[in-house]
Structures are given as structure tokens and as C-alpha cells.
Structure 1
Amino acid sequence: MQPNILVINPGSTSDDIGYYRGQTPVFEVTVRYSQTDLEPYDGKNVTEQLPLRKKIILDYLIDHQVPLKEINAVIGRGGFIRSVEGGVYGVNDQMVSDLETGRYGGIHACNLGGILAREIAQYAKCPSFIANPVVIDELQPLARYSGMPENPRISIFHALSQKRVARLIAEKQGQKYEQVNCIVCHGGGGISVGAHCKGKVIDVSNGYEGEGPMTPQRSGTVPCAGLVSMCFSGKYTQKDIRLKMRGKGGLAAYTGTYDAKELEEFIQTGKKRPGSLIRCTRQQAKEALDAMIYQMAKEIGAMAVVLKGKVDFIALTGGLMFSKYIPPQIAGQVGWIAPIYVFPGSEEKDALRDAARRALENPSIVKHYS
């Protein structure tokens, strides 16, 4: 008999939740949070959002008449723990402490994955897990150089999503993930672009803050001298600068909103939704969106150089790829490099469900976090 598994995948602006009786989904839902919903939490520890997100999950279980006692495992998206190798980890006290305190520098909503899994699993009296957290580190030595020895490049990216999609495409081509070279671009509230070489992500843009393309709410790479001047101008606090880098940067800074779908609607029709935060013209909105796409394509091109031009395919995944505009624009700029595959959303729920199932079937694969 196959196990019943609850999957929790928190993102910066959404929660992806699924409950499965064996292979049968009881419900799969993406809860999206508006800029207004999250405004009270700006600059605060992400754990402040815990009651909001936990209530939504428990309400869905109640609405679908899922008794807690029937759940065999709860698995959450891995957050900012110490750098680890890939795999499935049991959630323990040390992990929860590191996630809650942001000990390893991260205050992203993905930290809530392990915490929510642990709390709900305690109600259900079942195991809780995470799998392939964002801090998987497979960088080649040259990729760590930043120009400042005190400030090396580090690996933080959408590891679960990128590896799942790369593996699926390789299998469709009759190959193993460990046999191919590919580039995966995950586009959501954050954007990361990775160079996958024979099963290892040897270089990747740190989509969390300060690297790669600008995103709907993050600045990405910015001119260093200008940033230093801003930091010492006396006009901004450290909190202000952090919010410009992550939360109120990117499209939000240029247009007023980080809702790419709303922005596209405005560009197409000129009409704003009731209560819209858009504060620019249609032309300005289009130029900002095109600039983000331009930067995504440029980063994909850079990863092609990392792989020395030997690229079997390029994968575009994440919530931004539901757009009818963004994927074709990217493909128009990088399609000459390799075939393009578009996976809107992500395969993260399936990846997490399968990881929990494997952990229950073979507990010896579960790794201990310390």
C-alpha cells in the first residue's frame, strides 16, 4: 500500500501545496499572496508568516476531509541550512533552529518548508522531511571566484526544481541526467540560471540576492560603485538597501508591482486591476519586463560559455513560464544555443512527494542534519 503524503512548498509570493493518497492527488493548489498580503512582513523574520501559511494548509486539509491521523509523512521544501549534499533529510531540532534564526544567512519563505512540515507532522504523529534544499553546493572551483577573496560566490538556487526538470527532459531524450549538459532557468519571485554538467550544477546565479537577472521583486546584479555610494549616502538604512535588493527591487522598483501577470495584462490592455499598485505607463512597464527577459537570456548565454558550448538543451521553468510572452521572447534570443523546453510552474511537488515516498520505503536513505 502506497503512503499518504502532504507536500508543502513555500515560495516568496506563494505556497504550493499537495496531498496525495498513494499516487492519487486529493488536492493540489497554489496559494498566491498579493503585495498587500505580504506588506506587513517586509523586513521581518520570515517566521512571522508561519501562522498565516499554516492556517491555510490546515484549512485545506479540513475542507478536503483529510484526517491528520491518516497522513504518513509531511515533506517541505528545503531552506537555508548549512551547505549539504543532495538527498532527503529528516527535520530535527537543529534544522528547525537554523531555519528559524537564519543562522546561515537566509530569511526566504522556503525556510518555512521544514518548519511547517515539522509542526504539522507533530499533529499527525508522522515523520517530516526536506529534500534537495536551495543550498546544495556543486560549484566547480573557478566558479567560486568573485574578485574579492573575503566575499566568494556561493551556491543558492532552485535546486529541487532545476534538477527535477533537467532529469525529466533527459529521460524523455532516452538519456540519464548524469549523461547530459544543460542549462535550466527557473523564473519566479526569484530567478536562478544553472549550468548542469553530467549531473552536477557547476555554476549557477545566486537568485536569492545580489546576482544574475533582476526578477519581479529582486534587483539581481547591480553596478558596484553605485551601490557603495547609496550605502554611504546617509539616505538609506541597511534595511532599506536589503529591501531594494530583495522584496522591492526588480519589476517592483520600476513599475510598482511584482505581479508579472498583472503587468502583462496592463501592457496589453492599458487597464489596471482594482487596487493595482502599478505606477508607470504601459511603455515603461513593457520596457521593464523586456529588460528582465533580456537579462535572463544574457545569463543563459553566460552558462553556455561555462559548458563550452556543449549544451544538449535549455529548460525554462517556474511560475513566470506560464506567461505567453516571456518564454517565446527568451527563446528568440537563445534558441540558437540548443533546443528549448518549457515547463510552466515546477515539478517540485512531484519531486518532494517521490522523495518522501522513497524515504518511507527505505529509511536508510534519510540523512541526518547536524
Structure 2
Amino acid sequence: MNYNILVINPGSTSDDIGYYRGQEPVFEVTVRYSMTDLEPYEGKNVLEQLPLRKKLILDYLIDHNIPLEEINAVIGRGGFIKSVSGGVYEVNEQMLADLSSGRYGGIHPSNLGGILAHEIAQIAHCPSFIANPVVIDEMQPLARYSGMPENPRISIFHALSQKRVARMIANKLGKKYTEINCIVCHGGGGITVGAHCKGRVIDVNNGYEGDGPMTPQRSGGVPSSGLVQMCFSGKYTERDIKLKLRGKGGLVAYTGTSDVKDLEEFIRTGVKRPGSMIFCTREQAEEARDAMVYQIAKYIGAMAVVLKGQVDFIALTGGLMNSKVIPQKIGEYVSWLAPLYVFPGSEEKIALREAAQRALEDPSCVKRYV
């Protein structure tokens, strides 16, 4: 059966929304907020933007002549709630309280996804959901050990993207996601590599907080003694260190840019575009890019060990995989382990639509947040 589904994926300065009748999009659009729109909210809790964002989404529905009463479900990107297992969750009062309070990891723009979905669904008199939020935790006990009992490894990763790609490839192979073992790498501003075992991500790096390979703007795992010395050297504030870990680490620290497309054009031609922030030589840029690839491949190899070599396939997804070079170079390291599939981009709206479709087709699969 075909259902009419509204998808909401909030970002810091935009809402990525889509409306679907069955599998056909009525519209897919990124609603961007101008500096003028956001100026009244500068320095304030992001929740104060809810009326603005809700109105613009409702206006889009009106502009496309979509009556609210035809909507069968609204689904939003999952935010920072308590750790849960993978799946589709109906938005309830406990989830709304946790998203609004920032109890688990603060109030990130993604927290607005579940709240906006709920508020619009109330008007439309339909259910609201989230699916596979970044805080999915299916890690096996051994994966949690860090060497410091006070500082265990935790699971924060691109769950929505990783699980969709894994499920999609499994279907192409004529199997269920719960029947296969695979390794999925999502590469973007952050990079996460997950070991998927029979439908559960039993080990994955916490890409949000900087664990794992270096990325275009994150340092990844760094030598611990050196980091401690930096922290107590008196040269850096706490904010400086946090920015080195997330925001100004990785490729941007070595090259001056986190724009991989710009960097690869410089590597290819040796010419910096007008306004480019690249400060290194062509050779240094290539080596830094290749170092990131090397680290990604190492993490894929580590996850193959986690799965004891029983890997049905390896999948590469996310914006980084739009590169013509990066997937190829990763493949040179890891393609001997298992068949390699590349799906550039993340298609999070499609992943959310498919999750809502599953929830409407089989209400028994919907999980309750407690």
C-alpha cells in the first residue's frame, strides 16, 4: 500500500524536507534560513526556532496544495536521546521531554526533528516517528572497553545512512539485513565505520566526538600523551583543544580547507581557485588526503577482524564518496576482504521515508521509547 509521508531533517541553518505519495516525491527541498531569519535567535536555545521552522514547513505544504488531512505519517531525524537499539520509534512524551531538555548530549539542531514531526502530526492527526538516530547503541560488551573504566567507548554514528545502505545491498543480494555481516563506512564531515552483524552494529567508532580516522574537519584518534601535554601546556584553551578535535582538525589542519572537492581539484591541477584557503603545496595536499584514506582503510580492516573475517560486503557512502579518487584508493586497500559497493551521498530523506513506510505497513515493528 502507498502512504503519504512528510520527512523533516533539520540542520543548523536549514531544514531538508520532502513529501512523498508512495515512493514518488511531490517535492524535495532544502529550506535555508537567512542570517536575517536567524539573527533574533543568536546565542539562544535552538528550540526557540521551532515556530519559525514549523511555519515555513507548513507554508511549503500549502504552496504545494497538500491538505494536512491526507498525510499518513510525519517522520523526523532522530536527535540526542538516550542510547537505543536500531529501529523506528513513535514520538512520545518521554522522547519530547528528553529532546527538549538536552538531557543526553545537549540540544543539537537534530533534536528539532522529532519535535517538529510531533507538532505537525498533531495538526494532521497522524502518527509521528523518528528512525535510527545517531545514538543507536548495539555495541557488544568487548567493544566498550577503552582502557579507562571512567571513559568507556560509546556509540554515536551515522546510523540512519549506514543501516539504509546495508539493508539496500542485502536486498539486492536476495538476503535480509538480519542475515548478513557487513562493514559500512559513512564519510562526510565526520567519518564512522561500523561492523554490522546480523542486523546489529556491534562495533563502531564515535565519529561525533572525534574517535576513528581523521576526517575533513576532525582529528580522529590522536596520540594520548601528546594530547595531554597540549592540554596542560598553557598554549591552548579548552575551546582551542575541542576545535582541534572537531572543527579545525583533520584535513583542514594540514591543508587549510575541509572542502575535499576544492582540495582534489588543487591536487589534480596544481591551481588554487580564487578565495581558496589552501596553504600547503600540491604534494602535501595529496599526502594529507591519502593519509585520511589510509586511516579509513585501517578502520575497515579492524572491523573485518571484529566480524572474524566473515564479511559479506563492504559499503562506502556519504558525501566523501562523490570523490572520483577516495573510493578507488580505499578499494585498493580493502577490496580483497569482500565485495565493495559505493553509494555516494547519504539520501537521509529516502531512508526516513522508507522507515515510516515500514512502520505504517507493520505497526508491530514500531518501538516504544522509555
Instruction: Give the TM-score taking structure 2 as reference length.
Output: 0.86
Aligned equivalent of 1:241: 241
Contact 2:118 2:128 (8 Å CA) reproduced: yes
| Alignment partner of 1:85 is 2:70 | no
**TM superposition shift of 1:242:** 2.1
Offset at 1:364? 4.7
Query: How far is 1:286 from its partner?
Result: 2.1
**Distance in 2 (alpha carbons) for counterparts of 1:270 and 1:43:** 41
- 2: CA distance between counterparts of 1:347 and 1:73? 19
Shift of residue 74, structure 1, vs aligned partner: 1.7
Identity %: 80
Please name the residue that 1:250 is paired with: 250
Q: Which residue of 1 aligns with 2:328?
A: 328
Per-residue CA deviations over 1:127-154 (Å, capped at 9, x if unaligned) read 3210121222211111111000111111
Report deviation, 1:248: 2.3
The equivalent residue for 1:177 is 177
Query: Helix, strand or coil: the match of 1:151?
Result: coil
**In the TM superposition, what whole-angstrom CA distance separates every residue of 1:63-88 from its partner, at most 9, and x where no partner exists?**
54445454332211212211112222
Structure 2 residue aligned with 1:304: 304
* Contact 1:165-1:347 at 8 Å conserved across structures: no
Q: CA deviation at 1:358?
A: 3.2
SS in structure 2 opposite 1:139? coil
Partner of 1:149: 149
The worse-fitting range, judged by mean Cα deviation, of 288-297 and 255-264 is 255-264
SS in structure 2 of the partner of residue 315 of structure 1: strand
1:317 matched to 2:317? The reply is yes
Aligned to 2:227: 227
Counterpart in the other structure of 2:358 = 358
Instruction: Give, as a single letter, the amino acid of the residue that structure 1 aligns with 2:299.
Output: E
Any idea what SS the aligned residue of 1:266 has?
helix
Equivalent residue of 2:367, what SS? Answer: coil
Determine the structure 1 residue equivalent to 2:290.
290
1:363 positional shift = 4.2
Distance 1:84 1:320 in 2: 27
1:348 shift after superposition: 3.1
- How many residues align? The count is 367
**1:120 CA drift (Å):** 3.9
The aligned counterpart of 1:207 is: 207
CA shift digits 1:167-213 (9 cap, x unpaired): 22122122222222211101112111011122221111111113101
Distance 1:68 1:204, change over 3 A: same
Q: What is the alpha-carbon distance in structure 1 between the residues aligned to residue 362 and residue 153 of structure 2?
A: 35
Partner of residue 3, structure 1? 3
Superposition pairs of residues 24-39 of structure 1, within 5 angstroms: 24-29=24-29
Structure number with larger C-alpha Rg: 2
What is the Cα deviation at residue 353 of structure 1? 1.0
For residues 220-274 of structure 1, the C-alpha deviation after alignment (integer angstroms, 9 at most, x for no partner) is: 1111112112222233332332222222222232233322222222322344455
Rate the CA distance shift 1:179–1:90 in 2: closer, same or farther, 3 A: closer
What amino acid is aligned across from residue 7 of structure 2 in structure 1? V
Cα distance in 1 between the residues matched to 2:261 and 2:52: 24
Which residue matches 2:116?
116
Match of 1:75 in 2: 75
Taking structure 1 as reference, are residues 179 and 69 closer, same or farther at Cα in structure 2, changes over 3 Å only? closer
The answer to whether the Cα contact below 8 Å between 1:43 and 1:239 also exists between their aligned partners in 2 is: no
Q: 1:237 to 1:143 in 2, by over 3 A?
A: same
Evaluate the alpha carbon distance shift between residue 362 and residue 174 of structure 1 in structure 2; reply closer, same or farther with a 3 A threshold.
closer
- Given that 1:186 and 1:193 are in contact with CA atoms closer than 8 Å, whether structure 2 keeps it comes out as yes
The Cα of 1:346 is off from its aligned counterpart by 2.3
In the aligned structure 1, how far is the partner of 2:368 from the partner of 2:331? 41
Q: 1:262 to 1:235 in 2, by over 3 A?
A: same
Closer, same or farther: CA 152–20 of 1 in aligned 2, 3 Å:
same
2:185 corresponds to 1:216: no
How far residue 310 of structure 1 moved from its aligned partner, in angstroms, is 1.8
Taking the TM superposition and a 5 Å limit, the aligned residue runs for 1:47-58 are: 57=57
| CA 1:363–1:313: 2 relative to 1, 3 Å | closer
Contact 1:144-1:153 within 8 A present in 2 as well: yes
**Partner SS for 1:98:** helix
Deviation at 1:316, TM superposition (A): 0.5
SS in 2 for 1:336: coil
Partner of 1:139: 139
- Measured at CA, do residues 268 and 337 of structure 1 come closer, stay the same or move farther in structure 2, by a change above 3 Å? same
Asked if 1:259 corresponds to 2:259, the answer is yes
- Deviation string 1:6-57 (CA, Å, 9 cap, x unpaired) is 11234679754321012211123467999xx99xx99986657768866775
TM score, norm. by length of structure 1: 0.86
Q: Is the 8 A contact 2:183 2:303 kept in 1?
A: yes
For 1:275 and 1:11, locate their aligned partners in 2 and report how far apart those are by CA, in whole Å.
26
Contact 1:185 1:300 in 2 (8 A): yes
Aligned to 2:346: 346
User: CA–CA distance in 1 between the matches of 2:337 and 2:43?
Assistant: 40
